[in-house]
Amino acid sequence: MAQTMRAIQIDTYGDESVVKFRTVPIPGIATDEVLVRLHYAGINFMDIHTRQGKYRTSRTYAVSVPTTLGMEGAGVIEAVGAKVEGLRPGQRVAYCLSWGTYADYAAVPAWRVVPLPDGIALPLAAAALFQGLTAHYLVHDVGRLGPSTTCLIHAASGATAQIMIQMAAARGATVLATTSTEEKAAVARTRGASHVFPYADFAERARAATQGRGVDVVLDAIGAPTFRESLRAIARKGLMVAYGSVGGSVRDIDPIELGEAGSIFLVRPRLADYSEDAATIRRRAGDVFDLLEDGKLTIDVAGVYDFADVLTAHRRLESRTMVGKPVLQIAV
């Protein structure tokens, strides 16, 4: 095995100019870690946010510089630490929320690693895990969506949103969705949304589609541009799930607004708190993989990018033209 590897790193936070392509030593592993030879990394908004320093004061996602970017990957176990049980070299695995996947190898806490069923290809695994686990906890545990519930999912062609639409519809919920183009709306309908509309006047449209009542749950990844109108789309005592802020953070909420909107509940959940141990991760991932293998869930790999082209993928995410989930090809 080689002693060095390629890695895409940052030493400081900032714009794209801080991203460095380097040759560095292959990491050693602690007794509770595994060394993964990465074949694909998931490419996420979180990687851009990491570069920009949005997690610099985060306790949930304590990422400090210098660091290797990327926190989702799929590959093959190369070595296991002395205390690791149930995992072995040669096993195909995926994981997320462990930084350093934009590299040939990564040392990963064993509890985060999920063995892959034979039917799940490595690029699909790299595209599926982070948003699959996220959609799973948002639909099942936070939104508690099921028969006789209605939800409104923003940015409906986004990677997380597409999975949520399918999971919510499969559980019998009525899914309303917003998106910015007709092409993206068609994707949302294919995934199972029964009403898809543009952002203009979406609260009014959501109320019209629910006989004036409003939806039980809004799932909002956009943030400031949609936050206040989302409150107006929600039924009395309903739930506002602010799970992302691709359009900018909400910084000025007064709790009285939740009261005025009809005693609305507001939550800003994070996957870390819903994937807190190996059993929870494997249970959620098992559900996602079962749905994929049974043909009940579709996850589009929106593009496979060469290692050198990672910033092209970041730019496409930011330009809002990506439909589905991009992955970075590492092993060739």
Judged by the rule CB under 6 A, the positions of this chain that interact with ligand NAP are: 44-46, 131, 134, 155, 157-161, 179-180, 184, 221-222, 243-247, 269-271, 317-318, 320, 322
Cβ-contact 35, 79 below 8 angstroms = yes
CB 325 within 8 A of CB 301: yes
In the complex with ligand NAP, the residue whose CB is nearer, 88 or 283, is: 283
Please state the closest distance from residue 49 (CB atom) to ligand NAP, in A: 6
CB nearer to ligand NAP: pick between 174 and 178: 178
Nearer to ligand NAP, 29 or 145 (CB): 145
Give yes or no for a cis peptide into 123 (omega within 30° of 0). Answer: no
Nearest distance in Å: CB 244, ligand NAP: 3
Nearer to ligand NAP (CB atom), residue 214 or residue 303: 303
Least distance (Å) between residue 30 CB and ligand NAP: 26
**What region does 92 belong to: left with phi over 0, alpha with psi -120 to 50, or beta?**
beta
- DSSP per-residue codes, 129-171: HHHHHHHHHIIIIIS---TT-EEEESSTTSHHHHHHHHHHHHT
Q: Is the Cβ of residue 38 or residue 161 nearer to ligand NAP in the bound state?
A: 161
What one-character-per-residue DSSP string does 22-59 give? EEEEPPP--TTEEEEEEEEEE--HHHHHHHHTTTTT-S
Rounded to 5 degrees, what angle do the CA atoms 88, 90, 95 make? 75
Which among 189, 188, 144 is positioned nearest to 168, based on CA atoms? 144
**Distances from the Cα of 321 to the Cαs of 19, 123, 128, 158, 180, in angstroms?**
22, 21, 19, 10, 10
Question: To the nearest whole angstrom, how small is the minimum distance from the Cβ of residue 183 to ligand NAP?
Answer: 10
3-state secondary structure of 105: strand
Least Å distance, CB 236 to ligand NAP, is: 25
What Rg do the C-alpha atoms of the chain give, in angstroms?
20
CB of 224 to ligand NAP, least distance (A): 10
Residue 105 or 305: the one with the smaller Cβ distance to ligand NAP is 305
Contacts (Cβ under 8 Å, ≥6 apart) of 5: 23, 24, 25, 26, 103, 104, 105
**What pairs with residue 279 in β-bridges?**
none
Least distance in Å: CB of 137 to ligand NAP? Answer: 7
| 232 versus 320: smaller Cβ distance to ligand NAP | 320
Nearer to ligand NAP, 34 or 233 (CB): 233
Output the smallest distance, CB 194 to ligand NAP, in A: 17
Smallest distance, ligand NAP to C-beta of residue 302, A: 8
Specify the residue, 117 or 225, whose C-beta has the smaller distance to ligand NAP. 225
What's CA 52's distance to the chain center, in Å? 18
